[in-house]
Amino acid sequence: RPLWTYFDLARAHQWLMLGEPGKTWDDLRWFWANPAAPGLYTWWESNGEENTFGRWETVRGWVQPPHVTPHYWTAAEMILLQLDMLVCLDESEPQPALIVGAGVPSEWLDRSLSVEGVSTRLGRVDWTWNKKRLTVRLHGPKVKIDVKTGPAFPAGTEVRVKN
Residues in the chain: 163
Average pLDDT, the chain: 88
Q: CA nearest 10: which of 91, 66, 75?
A: 75
Percent of the chain residues past pLDDT 90, beyond the cut: 62
Q: Which amino acid is at 67?
A: H
pTM: 0.85
Residue type, 68: V
- Say what the pLDDT of residue 68 is: 67
| Per-residue pLDDT at 2 | 79
Q: DSSP letters of 7-43?
A: HHHHHHHHHHHTT-HHHHHHHHHHHHHS-SSTTT---
Between 104 and 145, the higher pLDDT residue: 104
CA–CA dist 123, 46 (Å, integer)? 36
52-68 confidence digits (pLDDT tens): 666 665 665 556 666 66
User: 3-state DSSP call for residue 26?
Assistant: helix
Least confident of 36-40, 90-94, 126-130, 137-141: 36-40
pLDDT in tens, 1-46: 877 888 999 999 999 999 999 999 999 999 999 988 788 788 777 6
